[in-house]
Chain A
Amino acid sequence: MTPHIFLQLIVNGIMVGGVYGLMSLGINLVWGVMGVVNLAHGDFIVAAGFLTFWLFTRFQVNPLLAFPAGVAMGFAIGVLTQKFLLGRVPQDRGAVKTSLLMTFGVSYMLINAAQLLFGNEFQTVMFLPGSWRMLGLDFAKSRALAFLVAAAISLLLWAFLRFTFIGRAIRAVSQNPEGASVCGIDIDRTRVVSFGLGSALAAAAGALLVTIFAISPAMGTGYTVRSFAVTVIGGLGSFPGALLGALILGLSEVFTGYLASAQIANGIAFLLFLAVLLARPRGLFGRAVL
């Protein structure tokens, strides 16, 4: 590997990592607030990707204009899922188990719906071909744009969680639900908003991913595992952790893809996940959760 290829791979890995960071923030948020991982997270990603694809091929809608529609759809599905399904699960010892199984059911409903609507083929949106050349390195335009949008949204989310009332309520509930409740925070409503927000983030990531990779309905599970792996690597509830975890995953995948094959790169998320859990269960930056 020449130094030039090495640097180029690093650039590619960082750009992909930016989008991975965005998709993992959704799972991180929901998990922190509700102690539940949404197994349909990756399918929300794929659903928004297909919406973007459909609007682009059918009506020539620019993916940047379709972006808000995808995010709104993600938010709506998330709110409905939480309101009518997860929110109704009795909060006893079996709650985590039931919620996991429930989102598993939702996951397959979405996979099958996407298959019925769009078939099993891989689809992508090529609206920004070519690349910019800087310092002798290629920055694929679509990847660079996806990275910038992902970074901007991550920053917005950070500000939202830090400075708005709802954002602070979300953080309070994830740190201590009883305490938050005593302070007058409506926990059920906060959960609905968090789940909607988590799904909206998944959708945002999906709308960006479809412009840089080809997606198919069956890929959702892979993205769920990736989002979860990023959260585990970085640590639950940690913003810098999530972004670092995403960069680690993005870089590992790009390098494995180059040195071995894209097929093997798909399994990297799981291996990183397992290695981190066995060596340092709380992740690189997170609070103890195990």
Chain B
Amino acid sequence: MATALRIVAALAIAALILVPLFGSEYLISFAFTTFLFVGMAYGWNLISGYTAYVSFGQISFFGIGAYAMAILVAKLSWPWPFAALAGVAAAALLAAPLGWAMLRLRGPYFALGMLGFMQVLYMVASAWSGLTNGGEGIYLPPVRSLRPVYLASLLMVAAGLGVTSMIDRSAFGLRLRSIGEDEIAAEAMGVDTTRAKLAAFVLASIFPAMAGGLYAYRLSYVDPSSAFPASYEVQVILMAIFGGAGTVWGPLVGGVLLTGVAEVLWARFAEMHLFLFGLIIVIVLRYMPEGLVPLLRQRAARRSGPVLPKEATG
């Protein structure tokens, strides 16, 4: 079983790396978009899936990544990979003090705080026209080939999956889960909750920042509304909870399945897709609150029958 899985995984990775060599522009572009969302879903999952801190403002970091890319490439003519990394660094540097302030707040306070923070960044991006050109936006040089950014987005997904699976099995992951279960109890057990959740928050900011940078590079244009797209926030959260928040595979499964759905929705009901996303969020929470991955796992466990302890089977 394990060997078969490994072979499948190796084949999948090989296929994904070969996509840019043989795939059509459309396929590459579709896969690129999918990976951006999967990566962001992994980011959201780290802070809001494992702990109880639901953030509705992760798109703030997306905007920082997007503006870092635009300013560094268009105004200072940096090569794009450095600009993307600089965006990530900027987001992480901002996330540290922001997390220090915000993570003292729980439940609705944290949720609304992050929502408000995103609005403040939007306001700053609109008002500070010396840096961002305000509402006019910044134009980047047009992209000649999608292949390099495609590989970067693939790398981001691999990082998301790798980091999450490491955390999931580590003591750090256990600390995060204990914060999600009952923060006061976790503290009483000696967990340094402030440190754990701050680390998760900073780590979680990296993914949307990277995605924002790559997105801006691909779009060749950044203005406040494309840098802080509220609809992406909805989509990312939906993907994480649909796949299964607080699981290793959830963001990947949810992201891949729903980007496909989003593509269809976008093509057929472009005007209504936000409504449908909202509706799916509500339906998922109502009927499948754990998400798809835990549900499938339970089904599989039930099919293979009750697992008896070794002593009992003798």
Contact = CB atoms under 8 A, between A and B. Distances in A.
| A is bound by B | yes
A39 B111 contact: yes
Interface stretch (A70-78, A127-135, A136-144, A225-233): A225-233
B278 A108 contact: yes
A106 interface: yes
A286 to B, nearest CB: 13
Interface stretch (B7-15, B32-40, B112-120, B156-164): B112-120
Given A39-B56, A97-B54, A263-B127, A105 B115 contact: no
B52 interface: yes
B214 to A, nearest CB: 25
Nearest to B284: A105
A271 B106 CA distance: 17
Given A36-B108, A93-B181, A105-B279, A221 B113 contact: no
Given A97-B54, A105-B285, A269-B116, A37 B108 contact: yes
Contacts of A85: 282, 286
Interface in B166-221: 181-182
Please classify the interface of chain B as helix (H, G, I), strand (E, B), loop, or mixed, using the class held by over half of its residues. helix
A31 B108 contact: yes
Interface stretch (A17-25, A61-69, A154-162, A272-280): A272-280
Contacts of B231: 108
Contact of B272 (A39, A116, A270, A273): A116
A196 to B, nearest CB: 18
B237 A101 contact: yes
Contacts of A225: 112, 115-116, 119
A52 interface: no
A104 B281 contact: yes
A58 interface: no
A110 B106 CA distance: 26
Contacts of A221: 115, 119, 230
Contacts of B104: 277-278, 290
A82 to B, nearest CB: 13
A8 to B, nearest CB: 25
B64 interface: no
Contact of A267 (B54, B120, B282): B120
Interface of B: 52, 54, 56, 101, 104-109, 111-113, 115-117, 119-120, 123-124, 126-127, 181-182, 230-231, 234, 237-238, 241, 271-275, 277-282, 285-286, 289
Given A37-B111, A111-B274, 5 more contacts: A93-B52, A93-B181, A101-B281, A232-B109, A266-B119
Top 4 nearest A-B pairs (CB, nearest first) are: A105-B281, A270-B116, A108-B278, A109-B278
Interface of A: 31, 35-37, 39, 85, 88-90, 93-94, 96-98, 100-102, 104-113, 115-116, 218, 221-222, 224-225, 228-229, 232, 261, 263-264, 266-267, 269-271, 273-274, 277-278, 290
